[in-house]
Amino acid sequence: MIQSAASLSVALRANALTKIYPRGREQVRALDGVSFEIHQGQFVAIVGPSGAGKSTLLNLVGCMDAPTSGTLELMGNVVHNLGERERTRLRRDQIGFVFQHFGLLPTLTVAENVALPAFFAGRRGGTRVDELLARVGLEHRRDHRPNELSGGEMQRAAIARALINSPSLLLADEPTGNLDSTSGRAVIDLFQELHADGLTIVAVTHNPLLAAAAGRQIRLADGRLHPNTDTVRAEPDLVENPLSVP
Ligand code: ADP
């Protein structure tokens, strides 16, 4: 259904999000009062130079860490003040992660790697493992071990694994950073397909092709939003009123 920008449901809302790390006697403001919204179904790239705070932001959004101050809502849940146990549950149930270095367990087969998060959630992967392997084009690799796969295949297996628990949000940290351009393109295409199916995707990247494919960039510099970042922008294809399309 086509929705107006105002009625789009919010997947993520950050308000004055701040993260301060101690470093010796000093304090590093890795994030300094960052506010933005991401709507459900958006595909967003977090970009900016090294040290800008991108990984820190992804860690907070992924409930790996708690902010020093500020508020964060994820799929309607207030998450900034959750304890470790609740954060772990939310991570497991709502978020899929894709990393630069894939993070597959070398002793497990591809199918077993994909099923692992379901196992930790107290379920079996079942037929969904094979559905997802077909989705990422790896049916023929299901019983292989990661060291028998190319980098691109490993990342596609990692994406299948990230989707096994049907997350509301897919987070990716430099997902093409370890891939040649052809394999990187395949990952970008896969993200675009998942986005077209309605998945909310947030990816930290230095890859301009991935940033362009995302359609919206959250730009960080020195822990703050770059002034050009549009903090609440809905994607034009989701906006009903043509006058509101840029
Ligand atoms: P980016 O991902 O954009 O390269 P980061 O979020 O990794 O940036 O880092 C932002 C700033 O916070 C940097 O100055 C970095 O050195 C600092 N930082 C990140 N993690 C820690 C940590 N665990 N302890 C101390 N300083 C940190």
In a domain, 201, yes or no: yes
CA 182 to ligand 1 center in whole angstroms:
30
Name the residue at shortest CA distance from atom 25 of ligand 1. Answer: 21
Cα(207) to centroid(ligand 1), Å: 20
Question: Distance, CA 205 to ligand 1 centroid (Å)?
Answer: 15
Residue 29 lies in a domain: no
- If one compares 229 and 93, the residue with the highest pLDDT of the two is 93
User: Ligand 1 centroid vs 31 CA: distance in angstroms?
Assistant: 9
**Shortest-distance atom of ligand 1 to CA 31:** 10
| Domain assignment of residue 76, yes or no | no
In a domain, residue 7? The reply is no
Give the model confidence (pLDDT) of 174-215 as tens digits: 999 999 999 999 999 999 999 999 999 999 999 999 999 998
- Write out pLDDT tens, residues 20-74: 999 999 999 999 999 999 999 999 999 999 999 999 999 999 999 999 999 999 9
Query: Mean pLDDT, to the nearest integer, of 3-21?
Result: 81
Cα(57) to centroid of ligand 1, in Å? 10
5 part of a folded domain: no
Q: Residue 163 has which token pair?
A: 């989707």
Classify burial at 191, counting beta carbons within 10 Å of its beta carbon; exposed 0-12, middle 13-18, buried 19 or more: buried
Atom 14, ligand 1: residue with shortest CA distance:
51
Most confident of 1-15, 65-79, 230-244: 65-79
Check pocket membership of 138 for ligand 1, CB cut-off 6 A.
no
- The alpha carbon torsion through 206, 168, 64, 26 (nearest 10 deg) reads 50
pLDDT score recorded for residue 155: 97
Q: Which domain holds residue 184?
A: 41-67+82-240
Substitution site in 21, 32, 205 for ligand 1 pocket (most atoms within 8 Å of beta carbon): 21
CB neighbours (10 Å) of residue 149?
18
Q: At residue 44, what are phi and psi to the nearest 5 degrees?
A: -120, 135
Give domain status of residue 33, yes or no: no
Of 53-57, 66-70, 90-94, 108-112, the least confident? 90-94
Domain assignment of residue 159, yes or no: yes
Supply the CATH number for residue 118's domain. 3.40.50.300
Q: Are 163 and 190 in contact (CB under 8 A)?
A: no
DSSP, collapsed to helix, strand or coil, labels residue 16 as strand
Of 28-42, 69-83, 130-144, 158-172, the least confident: 69-83
Candidates 163, 202, 179; CA nearest to 61 is: 202
What is the number of structural domains in the chain?
Answer: 1
Q: What angle do CA 102, 219, 163 make, to 5 degrees?
A: 30
The length of the chain is 246
Instruction: Determine, yes or no, domain membership for 117.
Output: yes
CA atoms within 13 A on the CB side of 212: 4
Regarding the beta carbon of 27 and ligand 1, being less than 6 Å apart is answered: no
